[in-house]
Amino acid sequence: MQRVRVRVSTARQEAYEIIIGAGTLARLGDVARRSLSPHVRRLVIVSNQKVFSLYGERAAQSLREEGFSIAHWLMGDGERYKTAATLTRLLAFFSESGLERSDAVVALGGGVVGDLAGFAAAVYLRGIAFLQVPTTLLAQVDASVGGKVAVNTSAGKNLIGAFHHPRAVLIDTNTLQSLPPREMTAGWCESIKQGAAGDRHLFDGTCSFLRHHTLDTALARKQGLERLIAAQVAFKASIVAGDEREELTRNDHRSRRILNFGHTIAHALESITRYRRFRHGEAVGYGMLVAGEISKRLGLLATSELELLRDAVRLCGRLPRADDLREDEILSRIAHDKKMIDGQLNWVLLERIGRARIVEGREIERRLLRSSLRAGLKNISEKRKSEGEV
Ligand SMILES: NC(=O)c1ccc[n+]([C@@H]2O[C@H](COP(=O)([O-])OP(=O)(O)OC[C@H]3O[C@@H](n4cnc5c(N)ncnc54)[C@H](O)[C@@H]3O)[C@@H](O)[C@H]2O)c1
Ligand SMILES: [Zn+2]
């Protein structure tokens, strides 16, 4: 079992703990008891049907053993349920079940559940405590750490949100055994992103795990995964601790913004395919390749480093094709997103693996952008063709 402490600077708490290990779900009650105030009596587990049927009973049992009274509430499965309408229903449930300011919420599921339940906890009675129990790789390495919680509106993703830190995060790596392969690929892409944007050692460790873990014994694989997730979480925690609220004025290589590496293109790809073709992390896989191509063409990144990035994205798993998407459509989507964020578009680019540079959008020519798109989006499918597949 590994533990990572995250420093935060809110009035309510100065730190919280992330516990990572195989089978740790059975210790949820104990973690809740230690991290929540002694006044907490009632807990609402927020989840969805799929995850709750796999892990809900184990979670509830462990909490009951510590004397908590438990209710649960299940939301629909998928990003399209991360809305204000779902939020309203959840808040009504909190109120009907008599949840008080001294009670708490447990988010059991992927990033969708974590973001929605976390936001509900942030606004219910002006904020109550919550615990994160992330069950997807993406949520374990990224979404559950850092205190950002939100819901989507018709005008955009995560448009209504807050910063609300959990009191603890419990990561049971065994829950990944039931996760579909595409969800693992998506989580690996975000893991590669974290290493590429800010930590060469983490990047190498992630690649090495992806290259060799199939050859390891089951025990070595388990331990390797646990150590790697802990390293990923520690990295994210260190960036967040240095720039908790993602200050707009910060542009340096340790600002929270570097975690958006690959995301300008990723959001455009997701949006022009109406969120149907790519899992978010898969789109980030392509987004990193395009950002890498831009970095190379601007003379920031050596070709050998870009090659490392390509290898790393390939190691994450197969991505849906992207070379049939129209460049014009991608470019106009980026322009549209730019308007949404005050006309400021900052690209997170790379100087080398492990060191990001934030560059203003207007410094990048359209022609360069086009050729980078062409090169970045064809990358993975070319590899597929050369492997003799259709
Ligand atoms: N708050 C943040 O800092 C932050 C960071 C990154 C992403 N996010 C958000 O996270 C969301 C994406 O999260 P996600 O990728 O986890 O998607 P998700 O929550 O939709 O989960 C993916 C799928 O896996 C299923 N699932 C979850 N755990 C499972 C398990 N153990 N076994 C089998 N199936 C399981 C879910 O039911 C779902 O169908 C997005 O809404 C994104 O905006 C937030
Ligand atoms: Zn992301």
What is the per-residue pLDDT across 345-357, written as a single tens digit (0 to 9) for each? 789 999 999 999 9
Instruction: List pLDDT tens digits, range 174-203.
Output: 999 999 999 999 999 999 999 999 999 999
Q: Domain check: are 347 and 374 in the same one?
A: yes
- CA-nearest residue for atom 7, ligand 1, is 143
Quote the CA–CA distance of 135 and 308 in Å, as a whole number.
29
For residue 253, what pLDDT is reported?
Answer: 85
For residue 9, what pLDDT is reported?
Answer: 82
For residue 58, give the H/E element and its range: helix 57-65
Is the confidence at residue 278, as pLDDT, over 60? yes
From 167, 257, 267, 297, the catalytic residue: 267
For residue 389, what pLDDT is reported?
Answer: 43
Quote the CA–CA distance of 286 and 321 in Å, as a whole number.
10
Domain harbouring 326, CATH code = 1.20.1090.10
Q: Domain check: are 85 and 197 in the same one?
A: no
Q: Domain check: are 272 and 156 in the same one?
A: no
What are residue 179's phi and psi, to 5 degrees?
-80, 130
Q: Domain check: are 313 and 345 in the same one?
A: yes
Is residue 128 classed exposed, middle or buried when 0-12, 13-18 and 19+ CB atoms within 10 A define those classes?
Answer: buried
Cα 243 to middle of ligand 1, angstroms: 24
* 337 confidence band (pLDDT: 50, 70, 90): confident
Instruction: Give Cα 120 to chain centroid, integer Å.
Output: 19
Residue finishing a domain among 162, 178, 194: 178
* 390 confidence band (pLDDT: 50, 70, 90): very low
Q: Domain check: are 305 and 371 in the same one?
A: yes
Q: Domain check: are 224 and 287 in the same one?
A: yes
Structural domain for 271, as ranges: 181-386
Helix, strand or coil, per DSSP, at residue 245: coil
Q: Domain check: are 124 and 38 in the same one?
A: yes
Q: How many domains does one find in the chain?
A: 2
* 42 confidence band (pLDDT: 50, 70, 90): very high
Mean pLDDT value of segment 256-270: 95
Torsion sign across C-alpha atoms 211, 214, 217, 221? positive
Q: Domain check: are 70 and 16 in the same one?
A: yes
Residue finishing a domain among 144, 178, 212: 178
Task: Give the pTM.
Answer: 0.95
Angle ∠(257,262,264) on CA atoms, nearest 5:
80
- CA-nearest residue for atom 20, ligand 1, is 78
Quote the CA–CA distance of 31 and 27 in Å, as a whole number.
6
Q: Domain check: are 222 and 242 in the same one?
A: yes
Instruction: List pLDDT tens digits, range 110-125.
Output: 999 999 999 999 999 9
Kindly list the distances between the CA atom of residue 140 and the CA atoms of 51, 70, 105, 289, 342, in Å, as whole numbers in the listed order: 15, 24, 18, 23, 31
Q: Domain check: are 45 and 165 in the same one?
A: yes
Q: Does residue 280 have an active-site annotation? A: yes
Quote the CA–CA distance of 285 and 164 in Å, as a whole number.
28
Residues with a CB atom less than 6 Å from ligand 1: 48, 50-51, 54, 77-79, 82, 109-113, 115, 135-136, 138-139, 142-143, 146, 148, 158, 175, 178-179, 183, 186, 280
Quote the CA–CA distance of 86 and 316 in Å, as a whole number.
32
Residue finishing a domain among 128, 144, 178: 178
Kindly list the distances between the CA atom of residue 303 and the CA atoms of 160, 313, 370, 380, in Å, as whole numbers in the listed order: 40, 15, 18, 17
Domain harbouring 115, CATH code = 3.40.50.1970
Q: Domain check: are 172 and 301 in the same one?
A: no
- CA-nearest residue for atom 13, ligand 1, is 111
Q: Domain check: are 11 and 115 in the same one?
A: yes
